[in-house]
A and B are shown apart, each in its own frame.
Chain A
């Protein structure tokens, strides 16, 4: 928290308009799962075999300067240099979120040492039935659960990251949060999925209004003990709480991978820059945002909006007080019309029904190539 706060304040003091918070470092596209909702593995074999060198990872980290480095992929535990890269980032005092499906965690855990700088962020899209369905393979939930228990027993920091799609059942998601809380994870991260052209799963992504409805039903009346490892203002944004109608901060989570610095964000793939400075200077940021760009219309993903929430926290006294209030007392889930009655609906087993007239259009060739669910 302090690292983020000091980073934001430093940039505020120097009046820097755009600055990154989290580097999304993708050292490889290879994965050991083949989730129907993921486009990352959809490259020819010779691309999937390639990896960033540790030097490339460190140069990108130094160039970018973000205090947090998230390592997704692909599956980072399949990356041959993961130990060297993690050690190098720890030496740089970067807070690392190693985003893994945990299938290989038992085999690889001895590569790592517990430190406050390293967190295993375990991909969990729900309870066993929902998670195995989402990752298209039976048994993965059990593997992930074992991985979480093992990592916790070894003294590592462990969080979960969950992406919710069309058809998610609030009562089941709440049970899942209960289960993760009982396991003792440090925090949970949750985000709606994002529709993108090359993801095979076009029908199951959520749209803006339904996203708010789903999150109101899930997050209203939070159970004691739930801890989220994300800005409480972002959770309020997901629920559509008044005053939280944020705009995207696409430069907040810049992405570096085999192809370079991805333009403009973690989700859209419209080209690559050679350097971080080139990314920041040559991207026409004004083109992007849910009210400006068709591709961004339904996006409420944390990689775009959590940075906005953090910026609000440190951008005004009101934002700071709102965060302090939410941190001490919990996020706001009632008190305005937008969220009333949510508590009653939260424990009913209602899926968010797709609206037939509001499906994502599948974009044709020539449109932006876009990336995986966050």
Chain B
């Protein structure tokens, strides 16, 4: 999915709990921008800042960097001073990377915020409560944190 196509398309949103995606226009896994494509690096950076999954930063003179984009500073007045901060998924300290050395960015990791809707929880809870009232056997629906990598 290219930067210019992002608005309102949630077709690729992941469903962690199988309950369907949130009803929101969001930037999904796979959203990207690479030099020469429509859109802009700044646009995909803002999307990445709002994204709760890892991104892949395509760099000019070194290997691509996979990690969590935690912060950014975009200056229209001084583009050379613009940067992003990434916590590498492979470990090590956070890296501050100048936009000048970035040739593309991809929302590549699983969006861990996707699919965990209140509606999903409420639906499960209500169904279980109704089943209990009917005297039926019910399964445990308790929620637990995702297992970490």
CB within 8 Å of B: which residues of A? 30-37, 39, 41-50, 133, 136-138, 197-198, 200-204, 258-260, 271-272, 362-369
Contact = CB atoms under 8 A, between A and B. Distances in A.
A365 B6 CA distance: 9
A366 B47 contact: yes
A31 B109 CA distance: 21
Interface stretch (B32-40, B51-59, B98-106): B51-59
A44 B91 CA distance: 12
A138 B119 CA distance: 18
B52 A260 contact: no
5 closest A-B pairs by beta carbon, nearest first, are A201-B118, A45-B148, A45-B149, A365-B27, A136-B143
Contacts of B144: 34, 137
A201 B54 CA distance: 23
A271 B27 contact: no
Contacts of B71: 259-260, 271-272
A248 B3 CA distance: 36
Nearest to B71: A272
B118 A203 contact: yes
A164 to B, nearest CB: 15
A135 B129 CA distance: 16
A362 B117 CA distance: 12
A116 B76 CA distance: 50
B130 to A, nearest CB: 15
* A interface majority secondary structure: loop
Contacts of B8: 364
B121 A136 contact: yes
B62 interface: no
Nearest to B145: A34
Contact of B70 (A37, A197, A259): A259
Interface string B64-105: 000110111100000000000101010100000000000000
5 contacts: A34-B116, A200-B118, A202-B118, A271-B73, A369-B49
A133 B47 contact: no
Nearest to A366: B46
A240 B47 CA distance: 38
B72 A44 contact: no
Number of contact residues on B: which range applies? 35 or more
B142 A137 contact: yes
Given A200-B113, A203-B119, A362-B23, 6 more contacts: A43-B52, A44-B110, A200-B22, A200-B120, A365-B46, A367-B50
B148 A36 contact: no
A255 to B, nearest CB: 14
Given A43-B68, A204-B118, A272-B71, A33 B54 contact: no
B87 A41 contact: no
B7 to A, nearest CB: 7
B145 A46 contact: no
A34 B46 contact: no
B65 to A, nearest CB: 13
A133 B124 CA distance: 11
Given A48-B148, A136-B121, A200-B116, A364 B142 contact: no
Contacts of B26: 364-365
Interface string B18-36: 0000111111000000000
Contact of A364 (B24, B89, B148): B24
A368 B146 CA distance: 24
A44 B143 contact: no
A204 B122 CA distance: 10
A367 B121 CA distance: 25
Interface in B1-23: 6-8, 22-23
Nearest to B147: A45
Listed residue (A43, A138, A258) with the most chain B CB atoms within 10 angstroms of its CB:
A43
Given A197-B50, A365-B27, A46 B89 contact: yes
Contact of B149 (A31, A46, A362): A46
A36 B116 contact: yes
Contact of A44 (B73, B109, B119): B109
Contact of A49 (B27, B85, B110, B148): B148
B77 to A, nearest CB: 14
A315 to B, nearest CB: 34
A206 B23 CA distance: 19
Contacts of B49: 271, 369
Contact of B91 (A31, A35, A46, A362): A46
A204 B119 CA distance: 10
Contact of B112 (A43, A258, A369): A43
B121 A47 contact: no
A258 B51 CA distance: 17
Contacts of A362: 22-24
B50 A369 contact: yes
Nearest to B90: A46
